[in-house]
Chain A
Amino acid sequence: MADTTFTHSPATTDRGRRWVVLYLATTGLVLLLMMLAGLWMRLAQAGWVYTDPALFYQLMTVHGTGMVGIAALGGAAVLWHFLSAHVRLNSRVMGANFGLFLIGVVAILVADFPGRFGGAWTFLYPLPATSQGAWPAWAAALHLGGLLVIGVGFLIWCLELARGIIATYGGLGRGLGWHVLFGGSMRDVPPPTVVAATMVTIVTTLALIAGALVLVMSLINLAFPAVEINPLLAKNLIYFFGHTFINATIYMGVVAVYELLPRITDRPWKTTKVFLAAWTLSTTMVLIIFPHHLLMDFAMPVWAMAIGQVFSYVNSFPVLVVTGLGALAILHRSGIRWDLVSTLLLISMFGWMAGVIPAVVDATVVVNSVMHNTMWVPGHFHFYLLLGLLPMMFAVMIHLARGEDTRPQGSDLTALLYLLFGLGFVSMFLIGGWASVPRRWAEHLPEWQIWDQVASVMAVGVIALTTVFVAMFLVRTPAILREG
């Protein structure tokens, strides 16, 4: 495999750096609050803290929506920070997105707490409009409207990325390196960060359009109940949006690995043809595998289910074989001394790769028949988000707090503890799936509660260590902002 020329990334000339810092600070704070909401839910399921089911489902809605939102906000900060060294971006877009995000958050908080909306982050039609009096229609409309505002913000953000990439590289195809992959050209080879950003832009834009469509349809249905939506169509749009959007967050975060590991190890991360092929494959596959969420909807066409199963499996190649192995190779016998940043990045690759495994298993129809909507599912996504995405974001926070100095500093004990508590926490979800515990149940049977109890203890550890990482960043935030 001929390696093409490596475009070395210059020391960062981050435009919109203040916004990046503000995004990450917000991410850290909201993350902690949402984790506390998660702990509360776990304590309720464990039978340790009595919680009214209505409140449980409100917490579940806020936790799910909030976590997906800040996964995107934090991912966006990481991607922007590194991409803006390669592509000229207009930082006012970061401000616009942030403003819309805050408006959306306020709307959602009002809808979910005083308004008692509890329709989950997936707002599956027709639940928002059909709560049997659990929440009023205005609360549902306000929540969905809040989501729409946040979605518009991210759409603008994605379009700015697309504009920047097109302006610098001459097209999204060139951002994915197709001229190198198919044309054999060796010029303007996009660095890994640009390739990832192009993929993120494409898939997130499509996801947001589908999401906006189904949100508008649901809002119309709330206003005029006579206007109905086909529930299977709504489900397809929602899972296409939800699956693609949350997956894109880790493709945003992974640029931290592409950019920081080479600086830490002094070994380049090359854009090879295999790398480009892997990202092009990911771009298409992440868009077509969402039917793995609909395997228990027997009304779906069988070919869509076959795609959902077989391509979910294929989709793991690029991640496992190219990015994961690439990260391991760059670190292997590199002569580095582990410190907090490098260990967090190592953990993030492990969390991502390992978190894919239960997902691929569950995307198999025979397994899905007895695992779908059990705790196995939160087991899979907490694995790759808590131990994959979050360590990427923490690594960038600490990297910035250290003034972007990549020389090893101090010990990595806190990262290892985070890994251990995190593994304990997500394993309890997976074991719950093995024990057939349904997901999204406000109250658990006594025989299930042992897993909930262990998970609660582990969650306390995760939250404590998250507090440490976020605090390391926040105490340095004023100084970073002053330095500009």
Chain B
Amino acid sequence: MSTTTVEVLVIGGGATGAAALYDLARRGVRALLVEQHDLSTGTSGRYHGLLHSGGRYVVSDPATAKECIDENRVLRRIAPFAIEDTGGLFVATPDDPADFVPKWVAGCAHAGIPIERLTAEQVRAAEPALTPRITAAYRIPDASCDSFDLIHAFVEAARHLGSDAWTYQRVTRLLVEGGAVVGAELEDTRTGAQRTVHAACVLNAAGPWAGVVAHQAGLDVQIKLNRGTMVAMNTRYIHTIVNRLRPPSDGDIFVPVGTVCVLGTTSIDTEDPADIHIELWEVSKMLAEAEPVIPGIREGRALRAWAGVRPLYVPPEDRGQEAANDHEVSRQFAVIDHAKRDNLRGLITVVGGKLTTCRLMAEHAVDVVLQQLGKTIPCTTADEPLPVEEPRRYHELPHRLHKLEHGERGGQLICECEIVSRPQLEAAIEAYGDQPVALDDLRRDLRLGMGPCQAGFCGYRAAGILQQQRGDPDGIGTRALADFVEERFRGVYPLLWGHQLRQFYLDELIYRRVLGLDALIQPLNAEEQADAG
């Protein structure tokens, strides 16, 4: 078993862990981040995409509101490449409680969030798709934020400073010796290989899994897990983020991201950090809530739905208390110094908060880490922009279209919805060396199959290229295609009515009738079942 020694081990490749890795590196501490899947696949990759202005929390959670507006300003400065400055609107309709508006306005003033009142005409001019039945509207500095870009920038910058990040490495055990955590055992989630990392200090930034990780050292960290579902519609509808001006509730934020509009979210307590299932009523609810604000959206085409799990921190004094509704549980974060709380040195847990506040969370957590290491070096992550060589915007459709129009494309377009070319695909396959590669990995790398047709066309093409490139006689392409088809289907399963139902009729027709994939995998499936039995 291989062994590595680092100064600090960061667990979790979400926004919090990545920001902490970067913060540590800037303070001169070389660290290693480990992530059980790929970067940005936990809650940070399944969120609503909103760089909060704080407006949502001014009434229920003023402290978080203040943190949000401060960090909103910082992230705009240090990570402009990840942010689209859509601006935000809070709009009230006749169905919303009128007495909430003055409370909310006062809350914004208190938190220092700049707002601007708009007339009905101004709203109509700015966002013609919104209902004319608006009783109050305010502009606010919300923005949309690409977590994938942000996280990768944090990690790349840290790597430049000598730190590193390993993906597909799961912490299976924390090593405890003489009253201190001294490292962790890792398992490769693809190959099962084991290794050990020794560290002077371990930072637990495992998001919804933070409780599970703490438990590996025998500690009890209470987090409230709360699942939320979002639905992406296939056009933007609006160009500004629209929030309903009412106490936070289900389905009241609409975020234009890239080419889509994301409706969300629900809020359902769960016990399992990996619980990302979606129920049909949640989808209908998102649409029903959006319809009065964006009339006609219900007849639109829902492209994808996904769910994420909020890791909400419940401070000991609040335990056993019921919040009025789950949207009102505090979004504040906590840094737990287990040396102080549990008399166990070498472990710090950071949990709660928002993606918007990830840098701040990292700053506070790293302060405690340095304390334990006996160092005092100030945080500088808010001081200057993150270095990015070339903005990695290739997953933004307009950017790829622009490249294409300006002659920067070579070779065939394999995925037309998301503009993925054959050279890109080949390079991505190449990058896996002789490691196994699933079409779904290529999807995450390139956005292959993420558009309206959901791999109806590019699935076969990508499988053919994979087969050609790997030259594997065992039908790797066929199996990869079958897996990809089912993977894509899982994502749209809750959205199969109207247009998307027709799309999947077409996809099913292609796979069954044109290609005969179902007939080919039947023996494979039977073999698998026999093996399992």
Chain A complexes with chain B: no
Q: Which chain A residues have a beta carbon within 8 Å of chain B's beta carbons?
A: none
Q: Which chain B residues have a beta carbon within 8 Å of chain A's beta carbons?
A: none
